[in-house]
């Protein structure tokens, strides 16, 4: 092919009982868009999760979304018939995002692409992926469709059978220029930068305008821990970090060029090994007086939260703090990777309060329903978190293929989680069992939500 190819990138729908836009942008797809553009290719993007789509928001079949604090919010949604595996599950099922007719219209506005590239996230959202593939094929028959992202990586066999895509991308990003050349005949002119994390361009946020309420920020990939329930090592085996200058420049671009105030970090291990990267950036921002707000929806590592770090997070404008505690039961935390214990956690909370955060700023993730766990253990953890003056958030266990805990999960689940990804849905709770039932899960979630947390002394009183 002599002329550069045109790529159509698609962020598909979420199909689930519930979904909330907690600063979720398709950052991988946006980096891919930048790499393709820098490589000389044409790029168009359709975001099926756009909360600001006018056609969708005025459509009678759509239940409207809702804006919440700091750019987060509820997606518009449309009720769907439940897929077979969920038929007895007592919840409504929805497609979250734009109306399919809006998607079709957006496709028709685009010139015929040479390649369609769809991303994916949770394995159990594959019905939204398949629908996007099907509709894109209707409008552009004959154009090859590739599927990448998390579902493609974790369930390649299922994706091959079910998604309708021509190719399932499981390769490392460094191998993609060669694949592009084989399919389109075009050699991207930046092939050497694809595998070089530090040479990556900023994500192509401009493609999301005008629905840009916040920006995703990634300062590094991977995690040095190996918790047995987590897919981080499988999805991001390489640990790498951007330099301070690069992180600062990206934040400055998003703030000054796009007017972004709210930033959400997507790192799995934001504060680990960050002394000379993120820390330098936050010191600079704190010094200048922060005009922006930071959010850490992915849990921060409790062990990193020294008083110095907490002071810095507060001074730099962090507004949302989530901590990964998982459990306060000593034997369990060791079995689950040993990255935190209750003493470390209580110290971290003291440090956060001492730095000026309030109980409303801090949420603590507690895992619930893992193989071998009992409801009583979760109740104990909820109590300790409440006593510490912050909010517990129950994270229902979702079995993830390829994780060290996967075989145990498959052995105890009464459902066929090996062949049906819909059973990975955390709301469905497929690892229910006689000593940890679905009703136990519902009660624990209610308990975590309803009980008022203990009153804290005023911030800074530890000093």
CB of 111 to ligand SF4, least distance (A): 41
Residue 225 near ligand SF4 by CB under 6 A:
yes
CB of 220 to ligand SF4, least distance (A): 12
Judged by CB under 6 A, how many residues of this single chain contact ligand SF4? 11
CB of 298 to ligand SF4, least distance (A): 8
Integer Cα distance of 105 and 406 in angstroms:
41
CB of 340 to ligand SF4, least distance (A): 9
Integer Cα distance of 166 and 144 in angstroms:
6
Report CA Rg, the chain. Answer: 22
Give the residue among 132, 175, 127, 168 at the shortest CA–CA distance from 150: 168
CB of 132 to ligand SF4, least distance (A): 28
The angle subtended at Cα 375 by Cα 372 and Cα 380, nearest 5°, is 110
CB of 64 to ligand SF4, least distance (A): 34
Residue 227 near ligand SF4 by CB under 6 A:
yes
Residues 267-306: x where in contact with ligand SF4 by CB under 6 A, - otherwise, as a string:
-xx-------------------------------------
Taking CB under 6 A as the binding criterion, the range among 19-27, 92-100, 219-227, 241-249 that sits at the site for ligand SF4 is 219-227
Integer Cα distance of 145 and 164 in angstroms:
8
Do 120 and 152 meet the contact criterion of CB atoms below 8 Å apart?
yes
> What does residue 76 show for φ and ψ, rounded to 5 degrees?
-65, 150
Q: Which is nearer to ligand SF4, 163 or 232 (CB)?
A: 232
Residue 399 near ligand SF4 by CB under 6 A:
no
CB of 347 to ligand SF4, least distance (A): 18
Residue 41 near ligand SF4 by CB under 6 A:
no
Integer Cα distance of 278 and 248 in angstroms:
9
CB of 299 to ligand SF4, least distance (A): 6
Q: Which is nearer to ligand SF4, 282 or 367 (CB)?
A: 367
Q: Which is nearer to ligand SF4, 176 or 409 (CB)?
A: 409
How many residues are listed for the chain in this entry?
463
339, 393, 424, 432: residue in contact with ligand SF4 (rule CB under 6 A) = 339
Residue 232 near ligand SF4 by CB under 6 A:
yes
230, 270, 302, 364: residue in contact with ligand SF4 (rule CB under 6 A) = 230
3-state secondary structure (DSSP) of residue 233? helix
| 3-state secondary structure string across 317-334 | CEEEEEEEEECCCHHHHH
Residue 337 near ligand SF4 by CB under 6 A:
yes
Q: Which is nearer to ligand SF4, 48 or 305 (CB)?
A: 305
Residue 322 near ligand SF4 by CB under 6 A:
no
5, 177, 324, 401: residue in contact with ligand SF4 (rule CB under 6 A) = 324
Residue 393 near ligand SF4 by CB under 6 A:
no
CB of 154 to ligand SF4, least distance (A): 14
| Residues 6+ away with beta carbon under 8 Å from 267 | 218, 219, 220, 221, 298
Residues 348-367: x where in contact with ligand SF4 by CB under 6 A, - otherwise, as a string:
--------------------
* Side-chain half-sphere exposure of 143, counting CA atoms within 13 A: 24
3-state secondary structure (DSSP) of residue 219? coil
3-state secondary structure (DSSP) of residue 252? helix
115-144 per-residue burial string, b: 16 or more CB within 10 A, e: under 16: bbbbbbbbbbbbbbbbbbbebbbebbeebe
Taking CB under 6 A as the binding criterion, the range among 63-71, 225-233, 284-292, 341-349 that sits at the site for ligand SF4 is 225-233
Give every strand in the sheet of 293-300, ordered side by side.
215-217, 262-265, 293-300, 318-326, 362-368, 391-396
CB of 180 to ligand SF4, least distance (A): 30
Integer Cα distance of 115 and 182 in angstroms:
12
* Residue numbers at the binding site for ligand SF4 (CB under 6 A): 223, 225-227, 230, 232, 268-269, 324, 337, 339
């Amino acid at each position: 092919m002599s002329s550069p190819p045109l790529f159509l990138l698609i962020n598909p729908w979420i199909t689930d009982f519930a979904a909330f836009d907690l600063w979720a942008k398709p950052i991988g797809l946006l980096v891919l868009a930048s790499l393709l553009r820098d490589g000389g290719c044409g790029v168009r993007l359709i975001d099926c999760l756009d909360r600001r789509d006018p056609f969708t928001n005025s459509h009678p079949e759509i239940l409207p979304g809702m804006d919440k604090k700091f750019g987060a919010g509820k997606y518009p949604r449309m009720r769907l018939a439940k897929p077979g595996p969920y038929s007895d599950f007592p919840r409504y099922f929805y497609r979250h995002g734009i109306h399919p007719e809006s998607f079709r219209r957006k496709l028709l506005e685009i010139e015929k692409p040479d390649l369609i590239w769809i991303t994916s996230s949770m394995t159990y959202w594959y019905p939204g992926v398949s629908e996007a593939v099907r509709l894109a094929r209707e409008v552009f028959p004959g154009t090859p469709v590739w599927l990448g992202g998390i579902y493609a990586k974790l369930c390649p066999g299922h994706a091959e059978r079910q998604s309708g895509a021509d190719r399932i991308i499981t390769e490392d990003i460094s191998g993609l220029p060669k694949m592009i050349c084989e399919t389109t005949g075009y050699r991207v002119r930046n092939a050497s930068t694809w595998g070089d994390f530090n040479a990556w361009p900023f994500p192509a946020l401009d493609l999301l305008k005008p629905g840009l309420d916040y920006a995703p920020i990634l300062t590094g990939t991977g995690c040095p821990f190996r918790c047995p329930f987590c897919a981080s090592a499988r999805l991001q085996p390489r640990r790498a970090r951007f330099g301070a200058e690069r992180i600062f420049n990206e934040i400055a671009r998003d703030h000054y060029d796009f007017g972004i105030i709210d930033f959400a970090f997507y790192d799995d291990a934001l504060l680990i090994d960050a002394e000379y990267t993120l820390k330098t950036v936050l010191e600079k921002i704190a010094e200048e007086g922060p005009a922006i707000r930071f959010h850490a929806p992915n849990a921060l590592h409790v062990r990193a939260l020294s008083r110095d770090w907490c002071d810095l997070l507060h001074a730099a404008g962090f507004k949302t703090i989530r901590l990964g505690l998982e459990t306060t039961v000593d034997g369990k935390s060791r079995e689950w990777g040993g990255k935190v214990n209750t003493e470390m956690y209580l110290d971290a909370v003291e440090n956060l309060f001492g730095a000026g955060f309030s109980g409303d700023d801090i949420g603590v993730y507690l895992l619930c329903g893992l193989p071998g766990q009992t409801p009583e253990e979760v109740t104990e953890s909820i109590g300790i978190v409440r006593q510490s003056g912050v909010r517990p958030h129950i994270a229902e266990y979702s079995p993830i293929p390829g994780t060290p805990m996967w075989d145990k999960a498959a052995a105890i689940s009464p459902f066929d989680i090996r062949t049906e990804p819909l059973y990975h849905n955390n709301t469905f709770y497929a690892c229910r069992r006689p000593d940890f039932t679905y009703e136990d899960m519902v009660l624990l979630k209610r308990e975590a939500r309803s009980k008022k947390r203990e009153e804290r002394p005023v911030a800074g009183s530890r000093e």
